[in-house]
Amino acid sequence: MEKKREFDRSDPATEALPTPIQRMLVKMMWVLLLVAFLNTGAVQCQRSSLKDSKRLDPEVNMNISEIIRHWGYPTEEHDVVTEDGYILSVNRIPHGLKKGDDPKPAVFLQHGLLAAGSNWVTNLPNTSLAYLLADAGYDVWIGNSRGNTWSRRHLTLSPDHNEFWQFSYDEMAKKDLPAVVNHILKTTGQEQIYYIGHSQGTTIAFVAFSSMPELASKIKMFFGLAPVATVAFTASPMSKLSIFPDFLIWDVFGKKDFMPQSALIKWFATNVCSKKPLSELCGNLFFVLCGFDELNLNMTRTPVYTSHCPAGTSVQNMIHWSQAVHGGKLMAYDYGRAGNMAHYNQSTPPLYNIQDMKVPTALWSGGHDTLADPKDVAVLLNQVPNLVYHRHIEHWEHLDFIWGLDAPQEMYSEIIKLMSQQDLV
């Protein structure tokens, strides 16, 4: 008797294709969500008048370097090529408003999921970590993960090719991060740098620093903001994607990019978020995804936030996160049994052991963070072997770490203090 083929939920090439009814239900769900979103804000599509455009914050239409220059800071743009051919855009603020003569310790800032390096500079200078670090005497480098708005280039592939999008945070950790760190060290002549990551930026670090000891030796200290190693307890709406099997996600969203910055989002930022009565809607959309703390967000900046974020990633990366919700562990991407044998020489994806990470680590967590859930963070804290500092800020949600009005007092000052102490070692 012929053996029945076992269903493999994680293999995109599986024969167990969704039925027409399944496709219809999923697509109907997303249509309903879109309609609810539009109705909530009573959005009316109309052309912007010249008068309206003059009232727009100019940063809405700026790239990262232009935003930095807008506030009077020096800036450089660097192209970093990974070993697999991706061309990453890296921004640099070599010094603060006062240059000084001494060599400055380098610090690298890595954004989170669906975000971009602009996250570190889209608040006003007195509340943006990148500017505060530069003014404190640091050489600031800002990363952009493969596939986001500013890193959609490759030596041989086009974003129009499915192959371009065959990556997840595994490749960001094992390909992107080593390339950028080595570029910074080569450019500055330093032996070590500081690493600051937010959300997925911490996940990348946990993967890289626990599995690549040579890379870890180049990190003087790791600062994790809203650290994410596991998402077993996450309550974010983004986690609802994990309800669906991988093959259905492939079918609905395709095999390329997920939530890229687009003309529609730009229109929304300039025509909706710029209007005072509706700017709160834009803020609330962020809160729905990441948590609730409206009083701690500069609502006048929402057009700038929404014109730069979301910045996109790959569908495969979102599937990796979906797998993480199901698995409850920090593990490599699951290609399915056959694919895992080809990639890892084992039927299941390997796990990453954070206890192998020796880098001095400081972590900050939020009590109302629905992405980096406090229960997941509690599990993580017991696994970090060289944890030198942790602070739990009870009233914070996921965005307070990058955009919170009280972030300079609550956390940024602590980061700079820890870095200055480490500089003396």
The residue from 151, 199, 314, 322 that is catalytic is 199
What's the confidence (pLDDT) of residue 267? 65
168 catalytically annotated: no
199 catalytically annotated: yes
pTM of the model: 0.86
The residue from 95, 154, 308, 398 that is catalytic is 398
pLDDT per residue rounded down to tens, the chain (425 residues):
444 334 344 444 444 445 555 555 554 444 444 433 433 333 333 333 334 444 678 999 999 999 999 999 999 999 999 999 999 999 999 999 998 778 899 999 999 999 999 999 999 999 999 999 999 999 999 999 999 999 999 999 999 999 999 999 999 999 999 999 999 999 999 999 999 999 999 999 999 999 999 999 999 999 999 999 999 999 877 777 777 888 888 888 899 998 787 666 666 656 666 566 555 556 555 556 666 567 898 988 888 988 888 899 999 999 999 999 999 999 999 999 999 999 999 999 999 999 999 999 999 999 999 999 999 999 999 999 999 999 999 999 999 999 999 999 999 999 999 999 998 87
DSSP H or E stretch at residue 402: helix 400-403
CB 191, CB 218: distance < 8 Å: yes
CB 366, CB 411: distance < 8 Å: no
CB 345, CB 373: distance < 8 Å: no
> 58-423: what CATH class?
alpha beta
What's the confidence (pLDDT) of residue 44? 34
CB 119, CB 198: distance < 8 Å: yes
The Cα–Cα gap between 187 and 42 comes to 50
The Cα–Cα gap between 96 and 386 comes to 31
Give the pairing type, strands 361-366 and 387-393: parallel
What's the confidence (pLDDT) of residue 306? 83
Amino acid present at 415 = I
- In SS3 terms, 178-210 reads as HHHHHHHHHHHCCCCEEEEEECHHHHHHHHHHH
What's the confidence (pLDDT) of residue 272? 62
